Structure 1
Amino acid sequence: MNLILWRHAEAEDQAASDLVRQLTPRGRKQAQAVAKWLRNRIDGDALFLASPATRTIQTAEAFGDRYRVVEELAPGGSAQAVLDAVRWPEGVAETVVVVGHQPTLGHVASLLLTGDVADWSVKKAGIWWFQQRARGGDGQIVLRAVANPDLL
C-alpha cells in the first residue's frame, strides 16, 4: 500500500468558522503544483480522502473530483483515526492520498517512522509518501518522498 499524506494548501486566516476557511490564490497555485507532481507519479485508481474542511476539499479538487470526504479526517483528529480510515497497512486501495491537517498529519508521519506520536511538521501543501511492503516475511515502511510546492 502507498499512503500519501497531503496537507491542505495555504488558506485564509479567518472565516465564519475554521471548517469554511478557503484557499488563498497562493494556496490554489500550491495545490495545482502538487497535483501536477502527483499525476506523473501515482496510478489513475488512487483513492483520495479529504477532511470535511473547505480548504482540504479545495486542495483535493486540484487533482480532480474523485475524492471522498471523511469526517474522521477533520481538524483535531488523531493519527490512529487517519490510519483506521485508510485501513493501514492493508489499505482500502493500493494508493490512498489523505488530504488533511496539522498537527494530525505530522503525528501520522512520526508514528509510521518511529512508532511514537511526535509533533512533526508537514508544510502547507506538502506531501509525505509512505509505502508498506513485505521483505523476507516482514512488513517494512518505506518513506518514498517528502516534498513541498516550493521544491516542485
Structure 2
Amino acid sequence: MDLILWRHAEAEPGVPDLERALTVKGQKQARRMAEWLGSQLPDNCRILVSPAVRTLQTAEALGRKFKLMPELAPGAEAEDILRAANWPGNKETVLIVGHQPTLGQAAALLLTGEEQDWDMRKASAWWFSQREPGDALSVYLKAVMAHDLVVK
C-alpha cells in the first residue's frame, strides 16, 4: 500500500476555521503540487479529504474525484488518518488531504511507531510505501515533495 499525506495550501486567517479559503498564493501552491501528484499517482488512487474549505480547494486542484471525510477535519488524531486510509491493509494507493498537526503526527507514527509533533510545510506531500503489503513495520518514506520544488 502507498499512503500520501498532503497538507492543504496557504489559507486565509479567520473563523470559523472550517470556512477558511485558500489565498491566491495558496491556490498557486495547490496547483503546483497537484501538477506533480497528478503525474505520479495511479489512476485508481483513492483521495480522501477533510471537509474544511481549504482542503477541498487544495484537492480540487488535482481535477480528480475525491471523498469528503468528516473524521479528517481539524483536530483529528493521527490514528483517524490511518483508519480512514485502512492502513496498512488497503491494497490501493490512498491520498489524504488534511491538516497540521495531525499529518505530521501520522507521519511520525508511520516511521517511528510513536506520535510526535513533526512539522509538515503547507502544500507539501509525504509519500509512504510498504516493502511487504499489509506489513505496517515495512513502511518507508518514498518521497517528500514541496510545492516550490515542482519544476515547470
For residues 46-125 of structure 1, the aligned pairs below 5 Å read 46-91=45-90, 94-125=92-123
SS in 1 for 2:18: helix
Alignment gaps of 5+ in structure 1: none
Inter-partner Cα distance in structure 1 for 2:64 and 2:40: 18
Q: Which of structure 1's runs of 4+ aligned residues deviate more than 4 A?
A: none
Cα drift, residue 85 of structure 1: 0.6
Alignment gaps of 5+ in structure 2: none
Q: What amino acid maps onto 2:11 in structure 1?
A: A
Q: Give the structure-2-normalised TM-score.
A: 0.93
CA deviation map 1:114-140 (0-9, x unaligned): 0000010110001100012318x9951
Inter-partner Cα distance in structure 1 for 2:147 and 2:136: 34
Inter-partner Cα distance in structure 2 for 1:85 and 1:143: 19
Inter-partner Cα distance in structure 2 for 1:44 and 1:134: 22
CA deviation map 1:64-106 (0-9, x unaligned): 1401000110001000011001110012x51100000000000
The structure where strand makes up a greater share of residues is: 1
For residues 14-29 of structure 1, the aligned pairs below 5 Å read 14-15=14-15, 17-29=16-28
Inter-partner Cα distance in structure 1 for 2:27 and 2:74: 20
CA RMSD of aligned residues (A): 1.6
Inter-partner Cα distance in structure 1 for 2:80 and 2:149: 30
SS in 2 for 1:40: helix
Tell me which residue corresponds to 1:3.
Answer: 3
Q: 2:130 aligns with which of 120, 129, 132?
A: 132
Preserved contact between residue 34 and residue 62 of structure 2 (Cα < 8 Å): yes
| Equivalences, count | 149
Q: Determine what percentage of the aligned residue pairs are the same residue.
A: 51
Inter-partner Cα distance in structure 2 for 1:46 and 1:138: 19
Inter-partner Cα distance in structure 2 for 1:150 and 1:28: 13
Q: Give the structure-1-normalised TM-score.
A: 0.93
Inter-partner Cα distance in structure 2 for 1:107 and 1:75: 13
Tell me which residue corresponds to 1:147.
Answer: 145
SS in 1 for 2:126: strand
Tell me which residue corresponds to 1:34.
Answer: 33
